Structure 1
Amino acid sequence: MSAIPAAELALKGKTAAMEAIEDVVCGSIAGAVGKYIEYPFDTVKVRLQSQPDHLPLRYSGPLDCFRQAIKSDGFLGLYRGISAPVVGAAAETSSLFVFESVGREVMFLTELASREKGLSLPDLFLTGAFAGAFTSVVLTPIELVKCKIQAPMGEGSARTPLRPLPVIKEIFRHEGLRGFWHGQLGTLIREAGGGSAWFGAKETVTSMFYQQKIRAATSEAERRQILATPLPFWQQAVAGASAGVSYNFIFFPADTIKSRMQTVPLGGLGEKRTFWNEGAALWRQHGIRGMYRGCGVTCLRSAPSSAFIFMIYDGLKGHFPFQ
């Protein structure tokens, strides 16, 4: 998934614009496929996160949430409202890859890194954070609509539409354009930190696999051949899965707080629920366990999803028409 340096692009007859188009197309396809894999688990995660504090917990855990959801709506009910998330996943994944490439160029242009030597692992963690921060601005409105569709009907929410367009209209009617960025701080923390962990973990594990192979190399030519050869599929999958788990686990509390803010009934958006007072209320009520409610099922779905995203993205990039 690594961005290609400008000198190499020139040799291939590619421009930065072509590289950006590749990132958008390949990232969008990979993100959409990944969303179909993970969406039922994401629905369960949002429902676990958004349980109200003033009522007994509706679900005893992920399996109970799955059971109740399938019993009330059938298995396809777990895919309720997937159209907006598929668009969001395409936008999120393509944005992450595009902005990560932009971050690399910023590092080179500001001479924080050398084009000849490439980026170190700490540099890659930094460009991942850069990508996540910018992607959060694109993602917050999409996640707001997604969470409102996924969350179960609650007290005072009987009027909540279950299709993206009516939800969008309701949000605009109650809060105007600014309302679409309700929960932005939580998304920013999750995406900046998570983006750093996502790209950084993937590159770290990939580097570990290559280093193991390089130790057995007997010449510089053999070493270069190893680095030019893609890793076996199972190693690519492990690297991608580690990225998904790292992304979700480390900054999961920020995602929990964001989901709680974004699942307030539409008529209640006028009640100002900031990131900090929402987090403080959750901590007082449930402590660290409340912050990580739904984390297990999230990591479970993120491992295969992220593995597929990176494998599809890398595979498409290797066969793109501009190559």
Structure 2
Amino acid sequence: MALSESPIPILDSPTTDVATNAPLIDQSKEALKDISFGSIAGIVGKYIEYPFDTVKVRLQSQPDHVPLKYKGPVDCFKQSLSRDGFLGLYRGISAPLFGAAVETSSLFFSYRIAQGAFQSTFLQPGQTLPFSALLLCGGASGAFTSILLTPIELIKCKMQVPADNSGKQPRLSIPQQMASVYRHQGILGFWRGQMGTFIRETGGSAAWFGSYEGVGLLLKQASSDPTGNQSLPVWQQMMAGAAAGMSYNFMFYPADTIKSRMQTEDVSKMRDGKQSFGAVGKILWRQQGLRGLYRGCGITVARSAPSSAFIFTIYETLRSHFG
């Protein structure tokens, strides 16, 4: 995929003929494709990565006291299997599946919208977007998606943290978790951790789309297609998608760690107000240093490679067959 091109069709510029509504219909069809294909790709990707994501959240949300409950990803995985069984790693997956559909479809949809806006505002008809513009469009898509994603991730993180073994705090269902958040913090409580999600999604999405475009360009240049107009074979799409997933998760991982810590706090025990994103970050840095901010990063980057590879490949395949 050439850096001056996009894997997603750019919206057509509005026609000057006000008598026709064809551009509006075309844009509506493209939006429906983004939402449908992105949702399917996101759900498949979530099934692949969810057990690893559960381990990541449990590592990130460990209490402050030492020694830590888990020695690392492998120990956390073993303890989780012993305590809850394999299906326990999929606990609370209904909210993440919905979240994955919302996140992925929103990313692809808003990425295409941002490209169309940039194209019509700054470029002449027929010009292609430079790589720097694609990075900005990726960041804009992530910023928009973060607003939709934070409430879903809040409930997901609370469901993934194991219940108190003492039995004093029974497991809560998804509706009960939602009711608890609303009762103690009101409607804005669902956006606790929004700053972390915003930083992760804005920077991460720029890296996600940018890495996919960049690796695609390198593969195009190494192929026998000098024009770069032919589609990448499936294995190369998966390679570019894997690189995108690893870039997305590694570069802004500390923001996700702070977000997870904020979202897994017991809302019923917050008597003196909520700590800000910066305050929680300072506490983690003081207690555990940089290593603490990257706890669980290895398993997250590892699981993101196949997940992101399938997401891009499924989306591109559906686009090529039904687009």
Instruction: Give structure 1 stretches of 5+ with no counterpart.
Output: 218-222
Which residue number corresponds to residue 296 of structure 1? 298
Alpha-carbon distance in 1 for matches of 2:10, 2:105: 19
Which residue number corresponds to residue 236 of structure 2? 235
Alpha-carbon distance in 1 for matches of 2:238, 2:41: 14
Which residue number corresponds to residue 127 of structure 2? 117
Give the stretch that moved more between structures: 274-283 or 204-213: 204-213
Please provide the CA RMSD for this pair.
2.2
1:1-323 alignment, distance < 5 Å: 2-7=7-12, 15-111=26-122, 113-154=123-164, 158-159=168-169, 161-213=171-223, 216=224, 223-224=226-227, 227-270=228-271, 271-320=273-322, 323=323
State whether residues 13 and 120 of structure 2, in contact with CA within 8 Å, keep that contact through their aligned partners in structure 1.
Answer: no
Give the stretch that moved more between structures: 165-174 or 130-139: 165-174
Task: Give the TM-score of the pair, scaled to structure 2.
Answer: 0.91
Query: 1:56 Cα shift?
Result: 2.1
Query: 2:229 corresponds to which letter in structure 1?
Result: A
Query: 1:229 Cα shift?
Result: 2.4
Look up the SS of the partner of 1:228 in the other structure.
coil
Which residue number corresponds to residue 18 of structure 2? none
State whether residues 181 and 190 of structure 2, in contact with CA within 8 Å, keep that contact through their aligned partners in structure 1.
Answer: yes
Alpha-carbon distance in 2 for matches of 1:46, 1:66: 12
Q: Would the alpha carbon gap of residues 102 and 5 (structure 1) be closer, same or farther in structure 2, given more than 3 Å must change?
A: closer
Alpha-carbon distance in 1 for matches of 2:276, 2:11: 43
Alpha-carbon distance in 1 for matches of 2:24, 2:286: 58
State whether residues 60 and 295 of structure 2, in contact with CA within 8 Å, keep that contact through their aligned partners in structure 1.
Answer: yes
Query: 1:135 corresponds to which letter in structure 2?
Result: T
Look up the SS of the partner of 1:319 in the other structure.
helix
Query: 1:269 Cα shift?
Result: 4.3
State whether residues 103 and 149 of structure 2, in contact with CA within 8 Å, keep that contact through their aligned partners in structure 1.
Answer: yes
Task: Give the TM-score of the pair, scaled to structure 1.
Answer: 0.91
Instruction: Give structure 2 stretches of 5+ with no counterpart.
Output: 1-5, 16-21
Q: Would the alpha carbon gap of residues 260 and 114 (structure 1) be closer, same or farther in structure 2, given more than 3 Å must change?
A: farther
User: What percent of counterpart residues are identical?
Assistant: 52
Q: Would the alpha carbon gap of residues 269 and 82 (structure 1) be closer, same or farther in structure 2, given more than 3 Å must change?
A: farther
Give the stretch that moved more between structures: 160-169 or 297-306: 160-169
Query: 1:156 Cα shift?
Result: 9.5
Q: Would the alpha carbon gap of residues 14 and 294 (structure 1) be closer, same or farther in structure 2, given more than 3 Å must change?
A: same
Alpha-carbon distance in 2 for matches of 1:82, 1:9: 41
State whether residues 156 and 265 of structure 1, in contact with CA within 8 Å, keep that contact through their aligned partners in structure 2.
Answer: no
Alpha-carbon distance in 2 for matches of 1:55, 1:260: 16
Query: 1:230 Cα shift?
Result: 1.8
Alpha-carbon distance in 2 for matches of 1:246, 1:176: 35
Query: 1:239 Cα shift?
Result: 0.2
Look up the SS of the partner of 2:162 in the other structure.
coil
Q: Would the alpha carbon gap of residues 158 and 39 (structure 1) be closer, same or farther in structure 2, given more than 3 Å must change?
A: farther
Alpha-carbon distance in 1 for matches of 2:302, 2:8: 28
Number of matched residues?
311
Look up the SS of the partner of 1:15 in the other structure.
helix
Query: 1:145 corresponds to which letter in structure 2?
Result: I
State whether residues 10 and 112 of structure 2, in contact with CA within 8 Å, keep that contact through their aligned partners in structure 1.
Answer: no
